[in-house]
Amino acid sequence: MIKLLVFDVDGTLTDGKITYDANGTETKSFDVKDGAAIEAWNKKFGFKSAFITGRSSVIVEKRAKELGVTYVYQGVSDKTIVLNEILEKEGLNLLQVGAIGDDLNDIKMLKQVKLSFCPKDATDDLKTIVNVVSSKNGGNGAAREMIEYVLKMQDLELKSLWV
C-alpha cells in the first residue's frame, strides 16, 4: 500500500515558470484541483506527503501548509537522501512510496520508489524510466491524476469524499 506521496514542485505542481515582478517578488501558480487532491490525501485519507524541491521559495512553504503537507524540503540537490530520512522517521519503506517529478534532478529518486510518475511535459529522459506518464502537464492536473491513480489502486476514490 502506498502511504507516502512525494512531489517535486517546479514543473510538477507548477508549470515550471518562475515569474519575478518589478520588485523582485517571485510568483508561482498552483492548480486548484491538484491542491484539492493533495489536501484530501493528507487530511481526509490520513496519508503522508512531502514536497522535495531543488529551489527554495516562501510560496512553496505557504502552499504546503495550506494543503497539510507533512514534509517540506527545499534547496535539495540529492532528493534520495531526504526521502530516506523521511522513510526512517515514518517507519516506511520504498515499496510504500509514490513520487512525481519532471526533470533530471528527479531521476534518482523516481528510480527508487515503488510507483513513479511524471507530467506529460516532463523531460524525455524521465518518460523512459517512470511507471506512469500523466496525460496532464505539470501544474495542470498531473498531481491530481497521480493521486487518483494511487487511490484507485488502493480501492479508494476522491469522489467518495463528496458524494
- In sequence order, what are the residues at sequence separation of 6 or more whose Cβ sits closer than 8 angstroms to the Cβ of residue 109? 6, 52, 79, 80, 83, 99, 101
Q: Mind listing the pLDDT tens digit for each residue in 130-157?
A: 999 999 999 999 999 999 999 999 999 8
Quick one: average pLDDT of 33-37? 97
> CA–CA separation, 124 vs 103, rounded Å?
9
Q: Which amino acid is at 77?
A: S
DSSP state of 105: G
Number of residues assigned to the chain = 163
Domains, the chain: 12-48+55-92+105-154 (3.40.50.1000)
Per-residue DSSP letters for 95-125? GGEEEE--SGGGHHHHHHSSEEEE-TTS-HH
Query: To which residue does cell 496519508 refer?
Result: 47
Q: What residues contact 76, with CB distance under 8 A and at least 6 apart? A: 52, 53, 54, 82
> What is the distance between the terminal CA atoms of the chain, rounded to a whole angstrom?
24
- The residue type of 69 is V
| Span 33-62, average pLDDT | 96
pTM for this predicted structure? 0.95
pLDDT tens digit sequence for 59-77: 999 999 999 999 999 999 9
